[in-house]
């Protein structure tokens, strides 16, 4: 197997990890006003992701860095053509991270409500725009013969792209509700189960529509199999949470997102950013790749450090595996989350 194919696969794995892990972070943040009716309940929700949200974002940083090093032409065209949506995502992630840290710095309801709003918006914007961005990458964007993006922001807002945004938004909401049901106890847990079932219906409908559209447009046999298995996993997760088996429910949405993202990359390969112009030149794993020497060095580094990162992050989840409830939250709001 060529190194370009290996690195395309590794970048796909990094995005799978990011969407599976950060996806429930976004879901929890967006559900803050729905399941967090009191300050104590909102603190419970925030504490479910408090130990892991920043670690989950590392997957995005590594995916971006790997794309820059392995496929510099892809990185350059992507970040120039998608400048505004990616900037909005970056700003949302920054505001969201600051909100997690500053929410508890003052014992004042208005102060906390404002930071709660920042968490909600900072979770909603990426959850929507990541779907829009990936849909455009799949469908193709205006790239000229010099491999430069020549479209505008509104070229990205096609019906297909907007459907992709709705799909990721609903999937992450469902994934977040599953995680809340898995990590909490008491009334929040029961409400999260019910909400996950209801949100899952919309998530399943949008996912089937988007994956079917993708398969008919640019799909392969491999992507079709991945999409079908993703649908089965999502439906299995919904049945499990309906039977009060939150662990299997969360596993279902986790696997569904992983297989769905894998299917998108299988449908994209060997392109990395196709063009929608007749005379344009699309980017592929060949013409967008770095030198062979660069890819060899990156491969050695990845082989050494990737297992270390995976073990450390797995250990973090194991340490903070227990459920939490309102009675676990200390009364003082000036310390902790």
CA 268 to chain centre: 18
Number of separate domains in the chain:
1
- What does the block give as tokens for 311? 């073990």
Is 160 domain-assigned? Answer: yes
Asked if 262 and 16 touch (Cβ cutoff 8 Å), the reply is yes
pLDDT at 334: 46
pLDDT tens readout for residues 25-70: 999 999 999 998 888 899 999 999 988 988 899 999 999 999 999 9
Burial of 202 (0-12, 13-18, 19+ CB in 10 A): middle
DSSP secondary structure letter of residue 104: G
Helix (H, G, I), strand (E, B) or coil at 325: coil
Is 16 domain-assigned? Answer: no
DSSP per-residue letters across 174-238: HHHHHHHHHHB-THHHHHHHHHHHHHHHHHHHHHHHHHHHHHHHH--HHHHHHHHHHHHHHHHHH
**Could you tell me which of 225, 230, 237 has the C-alpha nearest to residue 261?**
230
pLDDT tens readout for residues 258-270: 999 999 999 999 9
Is 7 domain-assigned? Answer: no
Helix (H, G, I), strand (E, B) or coil at 246: helix
CA gap 174, 199 in Å, rounded: 5
Report the range out of 113-127, 277-291, 297-311 with the highest average pLDDT.
Answer: 113-127
Is 191 domain-assigned? Answer: yes
pTM of this structure: 0.92
Q: What is the extent of the structural domain holding 141? A: 23-328
Is 15 domain-assigned? Answer: no
Is 335 domain-assigned? Answer: no
Is 60 domain-assigned? Answer: yes
CA gap 245, 15 in Å, rounded: 27
Q: What are the strands, taking DSSP E only, across 137-203?
A: none
Helix (H, G, I), strand (E, B) or coil at 172: helix
Tally of CA atoms within 13 A in the half-sphere of 303 that contains its CB: 7
pLDDT at 81: 85
CA gap 118, 126 in Å, rounded: 13
CA gap 60, 94 in Å, rounded: 13
């Amino acid at each position: 197997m060529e190194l370009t194919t290996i690195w395309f696969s590794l970048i796909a794995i990094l995005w799978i990890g990011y969407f599976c892990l950060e996806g429930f972070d976004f879901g929890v943040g967006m559900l803050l006003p729905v399941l967090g009716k009191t300050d104590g309940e909102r603190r419970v929700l925030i504490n479910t992701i408090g130990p892991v949200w920043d670690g989950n974002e590392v997957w995005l940083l590594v995916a971006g860095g790997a794309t820059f090093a392995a496929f510099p032409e892809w990185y350059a065209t992507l970040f120039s053509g998608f400048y505004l949506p990616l900037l909005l995502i970056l700003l949302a992630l920054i505001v969201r991270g600051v909100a997690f840290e500053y929410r508890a710095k003052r014992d004042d309801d208005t102060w906390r409500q404002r930071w709660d709003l920042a968490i909600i918006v900072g979770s909603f914007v990426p959850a929507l725009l990541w779907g829009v961005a990936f849909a455009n990458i799949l469908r193709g964007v205006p790239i000229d013969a010099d491999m430069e993006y020549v479209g505008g922001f509104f070229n990205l807002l096609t019906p297909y792209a907007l459907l992709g945004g709705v799909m990721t938004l609903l999937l992450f909401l469902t994934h977040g509700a599953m995680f809340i049901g898995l990590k909490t106890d008491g009334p929040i847990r029961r409400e999260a189960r019910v909400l996950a079932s209801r949100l899952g219906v919309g998530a399943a409908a949008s996912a089937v529509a988007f994956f079917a559209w993708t398969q008919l447009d640019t799909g392969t046999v491999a992507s079709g199999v991945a999409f079908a298995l993703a649908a089965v996993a999502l439906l299995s997760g919904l049945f499990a949470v309906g039977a009060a088996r939150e662990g299997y429910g969360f596993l279902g949405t986790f696997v569904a997102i992983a297989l769905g993202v894998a299917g998108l990359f299988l449908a994209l390969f060997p392109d990395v950013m196709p063009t929608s112009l007749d005379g344009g030149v699309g980017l592929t794993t060949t013409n967008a790749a770095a030198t062979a020497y660069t890819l060899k060095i990156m491969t050695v580094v990845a082989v050494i450090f990737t297992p270390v990162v995976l073990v450390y992050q797995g250990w973090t989840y194991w340490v903070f595996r227990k459920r939490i409830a309102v009675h676990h939250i200390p009364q003082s709001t000036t310390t902790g989350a």
